[in-house]
Every structure is written in structure tokens, then in C-alpha cells.
Chains A and B, each alone.
Chain A
Amino acid sequence: MIFKADMHIHSVLSPCGDIEMSPSAIVAKAKERGMDIIGLTDHNSTLNADVTRRLGEQVGLHVLMGAEVTTKEEVHCLCFMPTVEKLAEFQAFLDSRVIFFENDVDRFGYQLVVDEDENVLDQVPHLLINALDLPMMELSQKVYEMGGIFIPAHVDRPTFSMSSQLGFVPTGLKFHALELSYYAKRNNYKFLDDCPWFSDFNFIQSSDAHFIEDIAKIHSVLEMPSFSFDNFKDALRQGEPVIL
């Protein structure tokens, strides 16, 4: 079966996420745009992921629960967890590595934890876009140990990416795929001409939506017998790039 997936979406929990990006609005828009799978990936926090998954379940949209983690090197990495229990454990791990810097709401925006009905349950006090005290290599190891999925984000971008911060793929770094941003040209990977050392890997491409209209403006296509977390992981590992 073919599945359409947009694996990089921010909610109102991300300070830069638009105030309209509630879990219910995200699920409705992704469904309207024909997605089968989405990833909920707020900066350094998973706290809106489970509610998004539950809302998705009601309308037949699979939601992978995760976060876009900013490592010590200031590389953004998508991390997904297989179960609610693992997600809570991963959240505690992220919390233990926070470099506390108070969020200035006027400058950066609100960081809201919300429920199904868009009621605000909590505001995260520390600035979520700050780096964690966590090297990328250790983050990858932790995600693999926990049975999760690890994808360095928007590797074609000039900021907060593996290419901008490191300029290479570290030897021994494990990941399931690399993500290309909306800006990487489809079918004409100019980025790969500039950075040929990335060509050997599997790619997904996602929207990195911070605004409702950006959801699924680009997506990846994956083939698997039926949807499950592990099937998704296997689909990412297939020999050919999964992007169509």
C-alpha cells in the first residue's frame, strides 16, 4: 500500500508555530490535503503529540509522535517514539538536558500545551528553540535504544542543519533517513550536486509547517504492507529514496 506522509509539523507548542496550529486544526488540514501519516514535531518537546495522535485516530490519520530536537551543535533532528510510554520517557530525557533560558513571549511567541478542544493546559516556561545539552551522536543512540526513528532535519538548509553546522555526515552516526526541506528542488537535487556525500542516503521531504496553509505543501510517499510504526521504519530503510 502507498502512504502519503508529511513528517514535520509544528503546533502551538513551538514558539514560532502559528496560534492557529492546534492539534485539531492540524489533523483536519492534513486529512483535507489527503495525508495518511503526519509527524508532530515541536521544538524540543513532545507535549502536544499524544493528543494529536488521538485526534488523528478518530479520522483515520496516523500520527507519529515526536519532536524536532536541537542538539548541542544546533542541528535540528526529527525523533519519533513508538508508544505513549516511550514518548513520556523520551520527554523526561529531553527535560533533563534543558539549558534553561526563559521564553520571552513577545519576542518568540507562546508555547502552549493544549487539549482536544484547544483549551490551554500549560505554557512551557523555558525557550524551546534553544539548544539542549545533548550531542547529536548521543541523541541518535538514545533514540535507537528506545526503538524510535531518527531523521536529521532539512539537511539542505543553510541554518540549523547537519550540513550548516557540521558540513559532513559524522562517521558512525545512525539515522533512518535524512530530511529535505520544501526548498530542495524535487527531481533535480541541486543540493546533492553541491553536497555529493549526502547522495548515498534515503530521503524524505516534508513541509516543516508552522502555518496551517503550509501543511502537506510537500510530502513523501512510502510503501508498506499496512501502517505500523515498525513498518514505517522499514519503509524508510528501503534501498531507494522514498521520495516521489
Chain B
Amino acid sequence: MTVKDIIEKLELKCLNEANLFTEVTGAYASDLLSDVMGNARAGQIWVTMQTHKNVSAIASLKDLPAIILVHGAVPDIDMLEHAREEEVCVLVSKEATFQVCGKLYALIG
């Protein structure tokens, strides 16, 4: 399953197109950056409500191809700028973490 497949299946809004054809190996849901730094694995999609610049920095550092912001969250401008520079895909779901994760689990869990 690629990032593009997930965008279509979950009806996500894409704010920064990148890694669309990267294979997604799983997902990690957390709002604590230290937790993601310690426990997320390369290739996973990151589900979070955090919207600041450090989020794209961590995604790039951990080789996470895409971030799904939940509940219609709006990323900070510098988060998006950083995501463009670092080629991280930024996606937004209208739904909350529970629903997003449930759908992801059904697809790739």
C-alpha cells in the first residue's frame, strides 16, 4: 500500500505532495515527539494533532514518508515549509485519531 493509496482510501487532503509512491509499512500514532523519536519505525505513517515545525523535522529524521494531521488540524506555515524542504508528505483528515487509526489498521495493520 502506497501513500497515494492511503490518501484515496481515507479521503485525505494533501498539503504537501511527497513520497506518493512510497510503500507504507505501518503507522504510529502519538503526540509526544520524544515518543515518536524513540519508537516510530522508518516507513510508517505518523498520525498526530501536533502542527509545529518540529513535527516535520522528526518525520524526516525518522524516515516517515507522511504525516496525517487529525481532526482538520491546520499546520503552522513553518511546518509546511520544512516539510517541503525535507520532502515529507503532509496530509489532513477531518476525522479524529481513533477513526483514522481504525481505518489504517484495517488497511495495513
Contact = CB atoms under 8 A, between A and B. Distances in A.
A101 B33 contact: no
A168 B34 CA distance: 21
A130 B38 CA distance: 10
Contacts of B38: 99, 101
A129 B50 CA distance: 16
A74 B52 contact: no
B32 interface: yes
B57 A74 contact: no
Given A158-B52, A159-B52, A107 B34 contact: no
B34 A130 contact: yes
B60 interface: yes
A131 B57 CA distance: 15
A75 B93 CA distance: 26
Contacts of B60: 107
| Interface bracket on B | 10 to 19
B32 A74 contact: yes
Interface residues of A, number: 15
A101 B52 contact: no
A74 B52 CA distance: 13
Given A99-B38, A101-B38, A159-B52, A74 B61 contact: no
Interface string B29-58: 000111001100000000000101010010
Nearest to A104: B61
Nearest to A157: B52
A131 B33 CA distance: 8
Given A70-B34, A74-B32, 17 more contacts: A72-B34, A74-B33, A99-B34, A99-B38, A101-B34, A101-B37, A107-B57, A107-B60, A107-B61, A108-B57, A129-B54, A130-B33, A130-B34, A131-B32, A131-B34, A159-B50, A159-B54
Interface of B: 32-34, 37-38, 50, 52, 54, 57, 60-61
